[in-house]
């Protein structure tokens, strides 16, 4: 199994603090059958992780994992919080795409969708990049206005749901919305967004079991194959998205 979203690089964001933490995370991943992990450190106002540093840290961690006989391979990635100059920074070799493919993560604020998001997603695609919105199920505007996400996906943006969200660790509301996203073909990847082995661990095996029970093995294969296609830079499987219908609220007297 491949995990395309993980904060396993030590000491550079709110994920692994030390190399020992990275080892613990890698061992936990291996227990779940994960053999390849894309390291996606934050790039935001708090953490300034740029491509050259990420590549260096990935090489160092891979070397340390080999020496420790831990059979997990780390690939370079990044989780940039959306900002206006992201294309300019990409041109300046500061944005690390996922395993040096055309796929690039975009993180949105949890409370809203910035006004310029649609234009930026379009501009990224014009440049030949494929934007992937991470954890849309945890964005309150998407939950309240699912048509906003539908419009983005319909126009070529991809999304990635977090395993822990699907399994209910962020609450029932986020779990239900995660299920709706899968039902409506509005997400294309399932990943851990793991930060540690405690309260923010992988849960990929549990999530895949849930996908199998709720949607069948075809969806398990879809998520697994899309992760493989992503790291190889190939076109992923995209089913036709459908709008999520908001449930009517009934008043009982």
Question: Is the pTM for the entire model greater than 0.85?
Answer: yes
Task: Output the six-digit token pair for 196.
Answer: 């540690």
d(CA 167, CA 212): 13
Annotate 176-193 with b (16+ C-beta within 10 A) or e (fewer): ebbbbbbebbbbbbbbbb
- What is the residue whose two structure tokens read 């409370």? 111
pLDDT digits (tens, 9 = 90+) for 111-163: 999 999 999 999 999 999 999 999 999 999 999 999 999 999 999 999 999 99
Q: Quickly name the fold that domain 2-231 has.
A: TIM Barrel (3.20.20)
Confidence of residue 249 (pLDDT cuts 50, 70, 90): low
Q: Give the tens place of pLDDT for each residue, 47-66.
A: 999 999 999 999 999 999 99
Q: Is a pLDDT exceeding 60 seen at residue 248?
A: no
Q: Are 6 and 41 in contact (CB under 8 A)?
A: no
Separation between Cα atoms, residue 85 and residue 70, nearest integer Å: 38
How far is Cα 191 from Cα 177, in angstroms, rounded to an integer?
Answer: 16
Task: Report d(CA 91, CA 125) in Å as an integer.
Answer: 14
> Got the DSSP string for 55-98?
HHHHHHHHHHHHHTT---EEEE--EEBP-TTHHHHHHTT----G
User: pLDDT band for position 206 (50/70/90)?
Assistant: very high
Task: Show the tokens assigned to 36.
Answer: 């390849």
Distances (CA, A) of 70 to 46, 55, 57, 63, 109: 31, 20, 17, 10, 35
**Alpha carbons 10 and 17: distance in angstroms, whole number:** 5
Domain residue limits, the chain: 2-231
Tell me what the mean pLDDT of segment 68-78 comes to: 98
DSSP 18: S
Please state, rounded to an integer, the average pLDDT across all residues of the chain. Answer: 96
What is the pLDDT, as a whole number, of residue 57? 98
């Amino acid at each position: 199994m491949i995990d395309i979203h993980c904060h396993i690089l030590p000491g550079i964001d709110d994920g692994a603090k030390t190399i020992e933490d990275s080892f613990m995370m890698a061992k936990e991943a291996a227990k779940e059958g994960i053999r390849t992990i894309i390291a996606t450190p934050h790039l935001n106002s708090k953490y300034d992780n740029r491509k050259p540093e990420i590549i260096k840290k990935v090489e160092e961690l891979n070397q340390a994992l080999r020496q420790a006989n831990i059979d997990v391979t780390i690939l370079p990635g990044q989780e940039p919080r959306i900002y206006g100059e992201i294309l300019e920074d990409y041109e300046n070799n500061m944005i690390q795409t996922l395993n040096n493919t055309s796929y690039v993560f975009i993180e949105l604020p949890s409370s809203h969708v910035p006004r310029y998001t649609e234009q930026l997603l379009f501009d990224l695609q014009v440049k030949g990049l494929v934007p992937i919105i991470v954890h849309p199920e945890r964005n309150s505007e998407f939950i309240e206005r699912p048509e906003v996400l539908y419009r983005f996906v319909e126009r070529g943006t991809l999304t990635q749901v977090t395993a822990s969200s699907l399994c209910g660790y962020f609450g029932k509301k986020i779990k239900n919305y995660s299920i709706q996203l899968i039902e409506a073909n509005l997400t294309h990847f399932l990943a851990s967004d793991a930060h540690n082995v405690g309260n923010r661990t992988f849960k990929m095996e549990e999530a895949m079991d849930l996908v199998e029970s709720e949607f069948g093995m075809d969806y398990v294969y879809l998520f697994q194959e899309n992760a493989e296609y992503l790291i190889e830079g190939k076109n992923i499987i995209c089913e036709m998205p459908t709008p999520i219908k908001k449930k009517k609220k009934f008043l009982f007297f």
